[in-house]
Amino acid sequence: MSFQHLLAIETSCDETAAAIVDQTDDADRPWAVRSSVVASQVAIHREWGGVVPELASRQHVRDICGVVERALADADLSWSAIDAMAVTQGPGLVGSLLVGVSFAKAAAWSLGRPLVAVHHLAGHIESIWLDHGRIPLPAVVLVVSGGHTNLYLIRREGEYVLLGRTRDDAAGEAYDKVAKLLGLGYPGGPIVDRLAADGNARAIRWPGTRLTNPDRNHPERDGRFDFSFSGLKTAVLRHVRARQAALGQDRLPAAEVRDIAASFQRRVVETLVERTFAAARWYGARAVGVAGGVSANAHLRSEMTARGAAVELPVFIPRLSLSTDNAAMIAAAGLRQLARGRLAPPDLNADASLAL
């Protein structure tokens, strides 16, 4: 059966998103974004310094009908034109996920259309194919966001083998915590990235992290491609506290804050780039991909692209609108599932810790 128009819903955290993606006849670029709508909750959560789960789920309830109707209008389609639906099942905030899952199940049932459940990280990975079409395989893909920093090996399209993960803080989480420590506001990632552009990235040499023991939660892996950012975050905390004590004030000079941001970002990006290309060498990858919210970071995009050029390995990063959470990527992953006949059961439920 042909699924020309797929409607997808994403509500895993604090963005309410809906998109319609069409299946094309081009084997090299099989998907085309027809519409993509995202309602952000940043203004709501900024005063709390982070996402408040209860507020997030309530706002999803308020926004979801309007967001879906806008996606249909932008695509110039009616409900009857939708051939299938996809929704993020997890991981994420369970209250937020439940809003999307409940809406998608009700809509699919009322229309008599098939529904597929999508893993949020699979969506991020498939955003690379959605934007660039087919890429050379095998590929190593870094998924880096506020909640995840994972490396995957893709030998065949739609199959994801975990190579490494963060043992503690995700890279995006570390950005937010350092931004909060420096009094920069929320969300921290874009602010640190902007300030770092005017700072001295070599002003402070932060310690690196060497992981020499296997992850006890994943003993089947030796841990050589794992990440850890808690030590770096603690090093920044100690440095800032020491400087505050030396100056006798809580607020550091603006130039010093820029240098701290630039030095912190340099260490994070160095770690991400080194691990990713080490995995690519180890597994003989023909391409590298980077996806997830932190892939919108200007310095990370630049360094990944430069390293790829230096070692003659193509690097694929989605456009900014497909890097942060969106429903178009969920649609792409959903079409991948539909092609294999993997439909969601009638009793589909949200899963906050869903494994990929």
Question: What digits encode the pLDDT tens for the residues 40-95?
Answer: 998 899 888 889 999 999 999 999 999 999 999 999 999 999 999 999 999 999 99
Q: Do the Cβ atoms of 64 and 16 come closer than 8 Å?
A: yes
Buried b (16+ CB within 10 A) or exposed e, 280-296: beebebebbbbbbbbbb
State pLDDT tens for residues 231-286. 999 999 999 999 999 999 989 999 999 999 999 999 999 999 999 999 999 999 99
Query: Has residue 192 got a pLDDT over 90?
Result: yes
Query: Has residue 1 got a pLDDT over 70?
Result: no
The whole-angstrom separation of Cα 81 and Cα 64 is 19
Query: What is the average pLDDT value for the chain, to the nearest integer?
Result: 93
Query: Has residue 291 got a pLDDT over 60?
Result: yes
Q: Do the Cβ atoms of 17 and 9 come closer than 8 Å?
A: yes
Rounded to two decimals, the pTM is 0.92
pLDDT range class, residue 217, cuts 50, 70, 90 = low
Strand order in the sheet with 139-144: 161-165, 149-154, 139-144, 287-291, 315-316
pLDDT range class, residue 169, cuts 50, 70, 90 = confident
User: Which domains can be identified in the chain, with CATH numbers?
Assistant: 5-124+324-339 (3.30.420.40), 136-313 (3.30.420.40)
Residue 99: CB atoms within 10 Å? 23
Question: What integer is the mean pLDDT of 173-182?
Answer: 91
Q: What is the pLDDT of residue 220?
A: 56
Q: Which range, of 24-28, 32-36, 55-59, 154-158, averages the lowest pLDDT?
A: 24-28
